[in-house]
Structure 1
């Protein structure tokens, strides 16, 4: 899976050069979010006191600053998505060109081989690239925003939060706690995803045979296979239901949590509206980065099941 792309001379430029360009673009866009965080503080301080001298001129100045931050950010994110799509397809092509000749030469029967080459390679490359870039973005966001959140921890009205870097430690604790709980809540999902792909592959194989010759299809067998697909999907829906309930509860709680922490400081005059907006944004960025596994648990579950299927396929080809 990895050697076919990253250890191939043919794909070296795309594998390593493309990866460098993508990481560079992620770094630049993260820095734009840092600039936007600083903009929040000054802009909301202006809105808190709109009657100050030259307030309207400053307002239009902030709008211009926002445009210089937001529009390049949107352009780079769009370009990043475009380049990442090409990157994932090249990775898929490298895997396909490695698997096809080996599959043709082997006499070993691999369940759902056509699906593993056609669909699993596509999904593996796409999900790995997607999750990998997201992880890089999460790490760079932490590096950029932890010092900001640490500095904003001063001026807390809540007594038990009056220590150095309190907001950072709260964000870390809540994220780690949420991730551990997510692991236990969703512990059965990878196995169910794997079984789901297996049952879908068996049904597809029967239907593909029927495309060439309808007489080769055993109707009772096809319906039986579909019943297996139905049962496994319903089981998967049930387990995702309580996992999504937990995930949504956690994400909504984290939106309001910074205001619960900083509200007393705002109303006692220790901080301004701009500071609380900065805290909310920085806390959200840091917590989202720490909670990356929770937010992408469904994708990670799918990737783990695909990896398991392709690993079995490679062993069969060997």
Structure 2
């Protein structure tokens, strides 16, 4: 699966050149995200001191709009220390748009490499391999799309952690809660612990999902195969009683799958809702003691969510990973069967 794309001279330009473009684009996005986090501090500190501009409202309103949509940072018409939200968000939107588009193209090239790596080998096999057409057409497509999407998220998460851990570590000095205020980098350690704990619970709650996804693909393949064969021979295939029996297997497997996804969704939704308030539980008291300002509170909340999101990447993508594991298993079985049955002269060199 991987060697068709990453170990092929034909696809080396796309595999490594395209990957470098994606990584560079993600790095620029993360840098803009760090700048936006700094903007949060300035903007919300301005809002907290809005009462000081009662007698000079025009100045306060000008600063307010300057923080949001001002272009002075670009034009140099005024001394502005930080760019406005518009100046930061506009390039971020275009970078995100380009990255999403290029990622899909990258995944399509990967699928092409796998598909036309499998086909010549499969054509030499005389034995029947279960679900061959599905594995070449659908599983290659889903595998490439999931891996490129998940891989992109992993790279983004790593870059985000590299950028935001120092910020969150420094902000940990603002914690004014007993015990936590005595631990250096307490916010970072807290994000790591709750993420690992959430991942462990997710592993337990979703333990049966990979097997059910794998069985689901098998019963779907059998149902579709009978319908495909019936396109050329309705006399011997697509009989109602046969299709009903096959669909009964599909329905039974989906019902079990949905039941277990229900348990898993209940856990993940509850976890995510709790994590929204964690930064406020930790930092909120400091607002009332004067230890922090509103801007710092918002900065901590944003930085905590970024770091926690990086640590909890696999938790938030558990259903996707479950699907990927089942697809990988099917494609790995397919490769094993090709290796077993194909003619010696067509076997790829190690």
CA displacement 1:172-191 (0-9 Å, x = unmatched):
11111001111111111111
Deviation at 1:155, TM superposition (A): 2.7
Once the two structures are overlaid, the 10-residue window that deviates more, 149-158 or 213-222, is: 213-222
| Partner SS for 2:195 | helix
In 1, the alpha carbon distance for the partners of 2:113 and 2:185 equals 47
Once the two structures are overlaid, the 10-residue window that deviates more, 270-279 or 94-103, is: 94-103
1:188 aligns with 2:208: yes
1:59 aligns with 2:64: yes
Query: Would the aligned equivalents of 1:48 and 1:273 in 2 still touch at CA under 8 Å?
Result: yes
Partner of 1:80: 99
Once the two structures are overlaid, the 10-residue window that deviates more, 152-161 or 266-275, is: 152-161
1:177 aligns with 2:228: no
| Partner SS for 1:141 | helix
TM-score normalised to structure 2 length: 0.89
Partner of 2:220: 200
Q: How does 1:146-225 map to 2 (within 5 A)?
A: 146-162=165-181, 163-217=183-237, 218-225=239-246
In 2, the alpha carbon distance for the partners of 1:156 and 1:256 equals 15
1:97 aligns with 2:83: no
Runs of 4+ in 1 over 3 A off after TM superposition: none
Once the two structures are overlaid, the 10-residue window that deviates more, 59-68 or 304-313, is: 59-68
Query: Would the aligned equivalents of 1:108 and 1:316 in 2 still touch at CA under 8 Å?
Result: no
Query: Would the aligned equivalents of 1:14 and 1:90 in 2 still touch at CA under 8 Å?
Result: yes
Deviation at 1:109, TM superposition (A): 1.5
TM-score normalised to structure 1 length: 0.98
In 1, the alpha carbon distance for the partners of 2:315 and 2:127 equals 39
Q: How does 1:1-318 map to 2 (within 5 A)?
A: 1-50=1-50, 51-52=52-53, 54-63=59-68, 64=70, 65-162=84-181, 163-217=183-237, 218-318=239-339
Count of aligned positions:
318
CA displacement 1:116-154 (0-9 Å, x = unmatched):
000000000000000000001111111100000011111
**RMSD across aligned positions (CA):** 0.9
In 2, the alpha carbon distance for the partners of 1:171 and 1:108 equals 52
